[in-house]
Amino acid sequence: MTEGLEVTAPADGAETHGAEIPGDSFMLESWGWTSNPDACEPKIHALASLLNLEAPGPIGRVTYQSKGNALVIAGRDESRARTAALALAAQLHVTLLAPRRIEGSGLTAWAGSIRSLTGYLGEFTATLDALDTGTGAAAKPVEAKFDLVLDFGDASHFAMRQPPQGYYRAPADEARLGAMLEEMRGAVGEFEKPRYFAYRENICAHSRSGIEGCNACIEICSTQAISPDGDHVKVDPHLCMGCGACSTVCPSGAMSYQFPRVADRGAQMKQLLSAYRVAGGQTPCLVFHNSTDGRDLLAAAATEGPGLPAHALPMDAWHVAAVGLDLLLPAIAFGARQVVVLAYQYGAGLMELLTPTNGALMAVTAAAGVKYGDWLKFAVPLFGALLALSAVAIVVAIALRI
């Protein structure tokens, strides 16, 4: 199946052995560096051969426009919120909302409380109760528009696991808050991101004649970007963060991932595995990793340890949740002996279930009337069991040389 593919000479630099590669973690990882460079020749050749492929066709874009109109929600942390609002006021137009009006140089001071908050970067709508801009409290809820929101409140105003871009939850740590303020100052202007998904409603199985069928994509989406729309669903591309989970769980193929498209990813896998085999490589193992912490982890393994084994071929994925059967089965068919999906980032997701500064955890436990200490008594043994199981699995995998 993989015969007949053209594999031309490796690109410049691709023949460089790991020991000679400068200490740039990205280059180390993308060249497949390990502590055994001689054994890596087929892998390095295969990775370099990807440059022979035509660039994938263009995909749609989603735009955001922000004029820097920021809302700072003080919550009970009025002093800290005022300091942050003043720090932003030199670059942004800042409105500080608190139970009572808090004046400050360059600030717009409002009193009131948030009834609801919706939207995304450049398009937030806050519905405010008892709004007092200095002329007395309004009798009815008032809507106000903002581009950015910095929230010092006790709980997040967004229920989804991944809140929208432009919404910042103030961390307790001052250094992290400083970095967040810096990011907010830069969030002015027009921004673009890929339209990560494509949806074909004619083959969607969401509902027919009022009888509900599939809800898989709605339930899996961590950003609440997908919602019912009659017999179909609709996706808000501004809320979508591109994890690809909706396409992975979609049973009909109505939802597909575009970053990259499955066909483009298939061509990459085919080229990679074919070139590896032609160069004399054996028992290839594809390693899917994300382009953020997964990549950092592999790069750290390369700089601080032995790195990936010689037969492990890294493939960058925007988000590993997009790696489903539509990629895993072709990988095997194209000659991969193993496929590994590096799901390192889920460790952070699991730890959020114990972290006392996680707003969603606090909100859910408070709503259920469960004290944090009681929650820990319940959750920690489960975490311990999970850790022990993971440790045993790793030891067994190493012993079996998997």
Distance CA 362, CA 367 (A): 8
The tokens for 165 are: 């871009």
Contact call for residue 336 and ligand SF4 (CB under 6 A): no
Burial label for 112, CB within 10 Å (0-12, 13-18, 19+), is buried
**Residue 246 interacting with ligand SF4 (CB under 6 A):** yes
Phi-psi region of 112 (alpha: psi -120 to 50; beta: other; left: phi over 0): left
**CA-to-CA distance for 273 and 7, rounded, in angstroms?**
11
Which positions from 135 through 194 interact with ligand SF4, judged by CB under 6 A? none
Residue (31 or 197) nearer to ligand SF4, CB: 197
**Least separation in angstroms between CB 248 and ligand SF4:** 8
Q: How far apart are the first and last CA of the chain?
A: 25
Total residues interacting with ligand SF4, rule: CB under 6 A: 28
> CB under 6 A: which stretch of 39-47, 145-153, 252-260, 328-336 binds ligand SF4?
252-260
Interface with ligand SF4, residue 317, by CB under 6 A? no
Which of positions 205-244 make contact with ligand SF4 (CB under 6 A)? 205-206, 214, 216-217, 220-221, 223, 225-226, 233, 235, 240-244
Residue 189 to residue 146: CA distance in whole angstroms: 14
Q: Which stretch binds ligand SF4 (CB under 6 A): 115-123, 145-153, 246-254, 347-355?
A: 246-254
How many Cβ atoms are within 10 Å of 145's Cβ, its own excluded? 12
Residue 120 binds to ligand SF4 (criterion: CB under 6 A): no
Q: Which is nearer to ligand SF4, 109 or 235 (CB)?
A: 235
Q: Which stretch binds ligand SF4 (CB under 6 A): 167-175, 180-188, 202-210, 359-367?
A: 202-210
Q: Are strands 93-98 and 107-118 parallel, antiparallel or unpaired?
A: parallel
Residue 83 near residue 106, CB atoms below 8 Å:
no
Residue 72 Cα to chain centre, angstroms: 25
CA separation for the pair 356, 376 (Å, rounded): 10
270 binds ligand SF4 (CB under 6 A): no
Other C-beta atoms within 10 Å of 304: how many?
9
For 163, the token pair is: 């809140």
| CB 393 to ligand SF4: min, Å | 27
Does residue 252 touch ligand SF4 according to CB under 6 A? yes
Residue 92 interacting with ligand SF4 (CB under 6 A): no
CB of 380 to ligand SF4, least distance (A): 30
Give CA separation, 18 vs 27, 37, 41, 278, in Å. Answer: 10, 6, 10, 21
Residue 320 in the binding site for ligand SF4 (CB under 6 A): no
In terms of Cβ atoms closer than 10 Å to its own Cβ (0-12, 13-18, 19+), residue 364 is: middle
Smaller CB separation from ligand SF4, 170 or 225: 225
Least distance (Å) from ligand SF4 to the CB of residue 321? 7
Q: Which CB sits closer to ligand SF4, 35 or 252?
A: 252
Binding site for ligand SF4 (CB under 6 A): 196-197, 204-206, 214, 216-217, 220-221, 223, 225-226, 233, 235, 240-246, 249-252, 254-255
